[in-house]
């Protein structure tokens, strides 16, 4: 399937919300087409290059579908949209159109069945609840209590201030359980380092 790509300096995860401000002609046209056709576009993380101007030189091979769930004109006159992360995908052949929009053949990645949360996830659930109180997170409206491992893993991966390389590593993992195990390992590593520093 062909999907228009929006390379950004961020990593979108399934079920997570992202606010974007659209001002370049290529993306205004893309958003207009997506809304008319009721389709989404792909968010991929820029590995090399910039968000504006010419097409990003190099971006991640794994991305996340973005579905438009709200839009409005901002006070500055620009178009503001809110998207929700959908399916993960792998980028195949990509081409840059004359207007610098990148279109790629994508392969949708299978999502593992969601699993219920267990007692071993209590610390991670508490961490997400603490993050939800931050004004920027609260403004996104992502503060609903999570009911399964997928939502917990995706929201923590999205909201925690991890390096982009770490976020991409999490997005590439095929199961929520694997994402939670990796997150737990990194958090324990950080706590261990801060313990040594005291």
Q: 103-113: per-residue pLDDT in tens?
A: 999 999 998 89
Cβ neighbours for 149, distance < 8 A, ≥ 6 positions apart: 114, 115, 116, 117, 121, 176, 177, 180
Pair (50, 104) in one structural domain: yes
Instruction: Check whether residue 76 and residue 169 sit in a common domain.
Output: no
Q: At residue 120, what are phi and psi to the nearest 5 degrees? A: -70, -10
SS3 of residue 88 by DSSP: strand
Q: Which has more confidence, 140 or 29? A: 29
Is 57 in the same domain as 31?
A: yes
- pLDDT 10s digits, 145-156: 788 999 999 999
Domains identified in the chain, total number: 2
Q: Are residues 75 and 99 in the same domain?
A: yes
In terms of residue numbers, what domain contains 54?
Answer: 2-108
- Segment 41-93, tens digit of pLDDT: 999 999 876 555 555 568 999 999 999 999 999 999 899 999 999 999 999 99
Q: What value does the mean pLDDT take over residues 160-167?
A: 94
Q: How far apart are the first and last CA of the chain?
A: 53
- Shared domain check, 94 and 128: no
Give pLDDT, residue 146: 87
Residues 87 and 153 in one domain: no
Same domain, 147 and 103: no
């Amino acid at each position: 399937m062909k999907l228009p790509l929006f390379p950004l300096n961020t990593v979108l995860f399934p079920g997570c919300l992202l606010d974007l401000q659209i001002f370049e002609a290529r993306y205004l046209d893309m958003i207009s087409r997506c809304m008319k056709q009721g389709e989404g576009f792909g968010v991929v993380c820029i590995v090399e290059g910039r968000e504006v101007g010419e097409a990003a030189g190099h971006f991640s091979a794994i991305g996340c579908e973005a579905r438009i769930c709200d839009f409005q004109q901002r006070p500055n006159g620009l178009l503001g949209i809110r998207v929700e992360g959908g399916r993960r995908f792998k980028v195949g052949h990509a081409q840059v159109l004359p207007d610098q929009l990148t279109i790629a053949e994508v392969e949708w990645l299978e999502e593992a069945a969601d699993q219920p949360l267990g007692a071993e996830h209590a610390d991670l659930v508490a961490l997400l609840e603490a993050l939800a109180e931050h004004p920027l997170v609260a403004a996104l409206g992502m503060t609903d209590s999570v009911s399964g491992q997928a939502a917990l893993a995706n929201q923590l991966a999205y909201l925690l201030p991890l390096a982009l390389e770490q976020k991409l590593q999490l997005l590439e993992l095929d199961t929520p359980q694997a994402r939670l195990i990796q997150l737990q390992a990194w958090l324990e590593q950080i706590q261990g380092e801060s313990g040594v520093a005291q």
